[in-house]
Structure 1
Amino acid sequence: MRLLLAPMEGLLDEVLRAVLTRQTRYDCAVTEFVRVTGVLLPQRSFRRIAPELDHGSRTEGGTPLRVQLLGSDPDCLADNARQLAGLAPTAVDLNFGCPAPTVNRHRGGAVLLDEPELLHRIALAVRRALPPHIPLTAKMRLGVGDTGRAIDCARALAEGGASELVVHARTKQQGYRPPAHWEWVGRIAGEVAVPVVANGEVWTAADWQRCREVSGVADVMLGRGAVADPFLAARIGRGDFAAPDERTRAAEWLEVLGMLGDFRLRVLRKLRAIHVPGRIKQWLNLLRRSYPQADCLFGEIRVLRHMPEIDRVLAAHGVPMLETRLAA
């Protein structure tokens, strides 16, 4: 069983990747997408999305990093993959899973799942552009409006050279609405000769257990579930399927406070101060799903706009106001 940390545009960037992968073991993490739209990007474009490329393509916690590309032009994607290969990523990933309308309107992400022939050409071109030692992987959904071409798309990617598929078990139109159709992950796994990873609606270790039973697939990519519960991957790794009791959650919250302090400092170092409150509220909003303490803290800072006043609330709740520490 392998645990992968998902890309989440605007949320799971190098800052949160660093915090989460220092907390628990993941077998790999995937970056937010690098949009490829007709030009050869300079290497700084890849470094901006994946600064870990300058550190052996690993997060501070040692997690290998895949860099994800998004686009629809096979030749342009191949040229950019070749450019990216010069920075020695652990792997290159192709995005056919993003359901965002702004992305799909420009022929990127999940909208391409209506064109399995194009998926095959993209995978083939990118695979040929990469040196043999850099794997090509891909993430897909079950289709645009229905699952009629899911198997064709999976075969197209695998036969084009993708050595692993992550399958988000919903269509583009289903977005992130439950349920996830885990049975389709199993169907796809039975039709391709490469490993398949399940993704979608795994919030707890018990969810992963059900996903494995329904799909027959043990490997899982965690996204919102990992952000809402930083200990989820560890629970799955231990096979701890019981819901954490109040005492366990209280002890975990003390660790989460330290993670919030680390996160605050990293975001302050990355962004202008005016943008930091939004990032802190964004993570706390998801943490509310797992921790009542996060709900209380979020309620107190929700309407605040400036970091000095937010810092006073965070400090009162026990978040360490770190000033100089980064990774030890």
Structure 2
Amino acid sequence: MRIFLAPMDGLTDDIMRQILTRVGGIDVCVTEFVRITNTLLPKKVFYRASPELLNGGKTLAGVPVRMQLLGSDPVCLAENAALAASLGAPAIDLNFGCPAKTVNKSNGGAVLLTDPENLFNIVKAVKAGLQDGTPLTAKMRLGYEDKSLALACASAIEEAGADELIVHARTKTEGYRPPAYWDWIARIREVVNLPVVANGEVWSVEDYLRCKEQSQCSDVMIGRGLISNPNLAKQCKLLVDGELFTPLVWPEVVALLIEFFNNTLEKMGEKHATGRIKQWLRYLSREFPEAEAFFLTVRQDKTPQLISDKLSIYQANLI
């Protein structure tokens, strides 16, 4: 019964991973995708995507972080995967699910689901290149425009040698619109023997339980639901085990916000820090009404000092 933190470009970077895994309940993380074109990338690219490589491939809380690669060239993907593994990535994940138009136009992400044979060739080449035994996983959607090739794509990924498959229960055209078709994951499980992880539209414990039931998966990957409620993974596990849990209270969330803001400011600079904290506040407002109220106070602020001052005053008033 594992819970994965989903890779989301521009959202679940190493700063967010450190915070969420410390809150607890997360068993596996996956990096934001590293785009592979036609060259062997320098080591610094992989260290930037996963600073956890310097900590044995784990967050400070001890949660392993898989390296996700996105591309369509089997040879280049294999070479870069081997390099990432040599740097200490505990597993390599291949992205066959990104719905972004710019990515799909470059023959990456979900558009690859239109050609199961190409998927087979990519996975087979990367698997062959991982001669040190590093596990290879893949993340796919149910298809590009429709679900007609879902079973064929999953079978191709398995036959090529992948060790695990994560399935986002929507097509590219369905994007992130509810619902997620978890029952289709159950159909995929009927035709493959490798472990399958269910993903998509899990915002609450109730969603988590329904996802497991309909997908017939014991393992679930959660993305936006964990950004909105950092305690969700821990909550799911404790309630399933029949144990009591202590929900995060708003002052604890404010402390996480301050840590996130300061770390983002230090690592990424002023522009990213102000944008990222506003982004997280909008997600948190789904679970915490106070987040929406505070967002309105900083919405127009463009300098980090203004936001930092407001956070400090706000936190002091909560004590």
Whether these two folds match at TM > 0.5 is yes
User: Which stretch has the larger CA shift, 150-159 or 309-318?
Assistant: 309-318
> Secondary structure of 1:45's match?
helix
Superposed CA offset, 1:18-72 (max 9, x none): 1111111321100000000001111111111111111100011110010000000
Shift of 1:240: 6.0
Q: Is the counterpart of residue 276 in structure 1 residue 253 in structure 2?
A: no
CA RMSD after TM alignment:
1.9
Matches within 5 A, 1:233-312: 233-239=233-239, 252-312=249-309
Shift of 1:276: 1.1
Q: Structure 1 CA distance, aligned partners of 2:142 and 2:240?
A: 29
Cα pair 2:120 2:160 within 8 Å, conserved: yes
Structure 1 alignment gaps of length 5 or more: 321-328
Shift of 1:275: 2.4
Residues 77 and 288 of structure 1: is their aligned pair in 2 closer, same or farther, counting only changes over 3 Å?
same
> Secondary structure of 1:177's match?
coil
Letter in 2 for 1:312: D
Q: Structure 1 CA distance, aligned partners of 2:56 and 2:153?
A: 32
Q: Determine the structure 1 residue equivalent to 2:312.
A: 315
Q: Structure 2 CA distance, aligned partners of 1:177 and 1:5?
A: 20
Q: Determine the structure 2 residue equivalent to 1:96.
A: 96
Shift of 1:319: 7.2
Q: Determine the structure 2 residue equivalent to 1:153.
A: 153
Shift of 1:250: 8.3
Shift of 1:161: 1.1
Identity level (%): 49
Cα pair 1:209 1:241 within 8 Å, conserved: no
Superposed CA offset, 1:281-321 (max 9, x none): 0111100000001011111111111112112221222179x
User: Which stretch has the larger CA shift, 274-283 or 197-206?
Assistant: 274-283
Shift of 1:274: 2.8
Superposed CA offset, 1:179-220 (max 9, x none): 000001111111101010000000001001111121111210
> Secondary structure of 2:32's match?
strand
Q: Is the counterpart of residue 29 in structure 1 residue 29 in structure 2?
A: yes
Q: Figure out how many residues of one structure are paired with residues of the other and give that number.
A: 316
Shift of 1:239: 2.1
Q: Determine the structure 2 residue equivalent to 1:326.
A: none
Letter in 1 for 2:39: V
Residues 221 and 314 of structure 1: is their aligned pair in 2 closer, same or farther, counting only changes over 3 Å?
same
Matches within 5 A, 1:66-105: 66-105=66-105
Shift of 1:249: 9.3
Shift of 1:131: 2.4
User: Which stretch has the larger CA shift, 179-188 or 255-264?
Assistant: 255-264
Letter in 2 for 1:308: Q
Matches within 5 A, 1:132-281: 132-239=132-239, 252-281=249-278
